[in-house]
Amino acid sequence: MAMGAPLLRVRNLSVTYPSDDGDFRAVRNVSFTVGRERLGIVGESGSGKSTTGRAIMGLARPPARVKADELMLGEVDLRAQSERQLRRLRGKRMAMVLQDPKYSLDPVMQVGEQIAETHRTHLGSSKAEARVAALEMLNAVHIRDPERVYAMYPHQVSGGMGQRIMIAAMLIAGPELLIADEPTSALDVTVQTQVLSIMDELVRERGMGLILISHNLHLVSSFCDRVLVMYAGQVVEICDAGSLADAQHPYTRGLLAALPQLGLKRDELPQLQRDPAWMDDIATPLETHSRKVGA
Amino acid sequence: MSIVLDQVTVSYGRGAKRFDAARNVSLSIGEGEAYGLVGESGSGKSTVLRAVAGLIAHAEGRVELAGQTMGRHRSTAQRKMVQMVFQDPYGSLHPNQTVDQTLSMPIAIHRLGNADRRVAAALEEVGLGPQHRFRYPHQLSGGQRQRIAIARALILEPRILLLDEPTSALDVSVQAEILNLLSRLRREHGLTMLMVSHDLAVIAHLCDRIAVMNRGEIVETTTAEALAAGDVTNPYTQQLLRSNRGFDPSGAELDLLDAGPTR
């Protein structure tokens, strides 16, 4: 599995939001590690997958309460970092790509400048150096004619190009860990796979760890090495990606069955029957491994 | 034939600035048939749907619904015949109106009478009950909201139901419920459905015949079986099919970038 020491270690992470009806536990005792690999987190809306990503980045702010027995990025204890220290880590050592580039890029700043700014902030480079690095980075995300695109504003670029620009801005300072939260859900299907290919290429070349958060089971299982399935704030199952079809948890199986499939004509799609027992605290998630000989 | 489009072109602007959002689109859909339109954003699929609904005037060609050719202005009876369900149930329901108000409005506009009975029946039809009747949209889940949007379309007893990405804003488990509901309604009422989606599996689940659109034109017409078998000839359809199967680790998609954007 993960080579060497894991990049990220999460043990018993919980995120709780206080409310008038008592505490709402958005994330409950989530544990996992990420090495130089692609880890997927899937679940439906409200399952806690995005909150998990935000908590790792230190972005789950009060009134949310974040608790963990362990939250280590390499040798850095993320729980002990001040807001100022976290700001230095974000972008430099861990970065996050969000769903819609329309909202995550600054609308009144040239896109190239936004990439260069990250370089200057984290690497202390000069304006000229940062510009050169940003142009190289645009090239790395397969943007033809980087000089022209550098000077464009976010409203002038397409969704797919905007997301590639976001990836460029997130990777320019050389983070070890990239968290991508539904990075392609706002894009057309053919553009989706292009953006994922670019992300895959860069993450491999740089030996990074990637957490891909998505509701799309097919996408995650075809892209990632391992998949965590979340339900009601808990990880209910961990699967090797190729073996998602063999998943054991009734929730995972129910989701897979409810998905329309080309070539499998059914009059009725089986609807997911939610079992209240799935809400109970579980000690350890189910594990499904691919059947490899001698592994 | 329930829906016939003959060489329909919808354009915006004129002269050098003229842009054809849909060009020479011809389709014929039988009574009670479910027909699918797939394509990416900007391909013109929603434009075709809107032209059928009468939400935009078609510039050229002929739109015929249930044997009647549609003119520039439609009568109330012609409008009642065609109803539409939109993509985002968060955006398509008035936030300050209760379910009851939302469902009563079309009855009032079309002077159908019996509002109370019709609203109750429409709610039951989509699997909701009297307890949902006086709620506001924010008190409903995404799936319940889409059921309300479907009830609003059905309350006028249309012959044709137009569906613009009806499940793409919903979770997988809720999507299955809505798709099952749509199949049942089609069966029980003999509705003709024209559905737009970018998800080939969703389209193929509900529809037998499917047209693929790219840059305003129909590039290929096919069937659910042919799609499943990968038996498609147009390169754009093949690309769409490959993308729908998930991520291709060979990185083949990168080659497409240099072929230029699809729009």
Instruction: Supply the pLDDT for residue A103.
Output: 87
User: Looking up tokens 């270690």, which residue turns up?
Assistant: A9
Q: Could you tell me which of B142, B92, B141, B102 has the C-alpha nearest to residue B122?
A: B102
Contact A262 B228 (CB under 8 A): yes
Q: Does B253 touch chain A (CB under 8 A)?
A: yes
Best of A262, A266, A273, A275 to disrupt the B interface (most B CBs within 10 Å) is: A262
In A, which residues are within 8 Å of B254 by CB distance? 142, 194, 197-198, 201
| Domain A1-93+176-190+204-295, CATH class in plain words | alpha beta
Q: Would you place residue A1 in the very low, low, confident or very high pLDDT band (cuts 50, 70, 90)?
A: very low
Full-model pTM: 0.87
Give percent of chain A with pLDDT exceeding 70. Answer: 97
Structure tokens of B33? 């048939």
Partner-chain residue, chosen from A142, A191, A218, that has the shortest CB–CB distance to B254: A142
| Segment B221-242, tens digit of pLDDT | 999 999 989 899 998 888 888 8
Q: Does A144 touch chain B (CB under 8 A)?
A: yes
Q: Is the pLDDT of residue B261 over 60?
A: no
List, by residue range, all CATH 3.40.50.300 domains of chain A. Answer: 1-93+176-190+204-295
Best of B87, B167, B171, B172 to disrupt the A interface (most A CBs within 10 Å) is: B172
- Nearest-by-CA chain A residue for B253: A194
Mean pLDDT of A247-262: 91
- Domain B3-245, architecture per CATH: 3-Layer(aba) Sandwich (3.40)
Partner-chain residue, chosen from A201, A264, A271, that has the shortest CB–CB distance to B173: A271
Contact A255 B172 (CB under 8 A): yes
What is the rounded CA–CA span in Å between residue A238 and residue A235? 7
The residues pairing with B170 across neighbouring beta strands, listed in sequence order, are: none
Q: Is the pLDDT of residue A110 over 80?
A: yes
Instruction: Supply the pLDDT for residue A73.
Output: 95
- A 18-47 residues inside an 8 A Cβ radius of B: 44-45
**Predicted-complex ipTM score:** 0.81
Q: Cα A104 from chain centroid?
A: 15
Q: Give the three-class secondary structure for B7.
A: strand
Instruction: Supply the pLDDT for residue A292.
Output: 54
Contact A190 B256 (CB under 8 A): yes
Spatial contact of A47 and A217, defined as CB atoms under 8 Å apart: no
Q: A71 vs A160, which has greater pLDDT?
A: A71
Spatial contact of A42 and A214, defined as CB atoms under 8 Å apart: yes
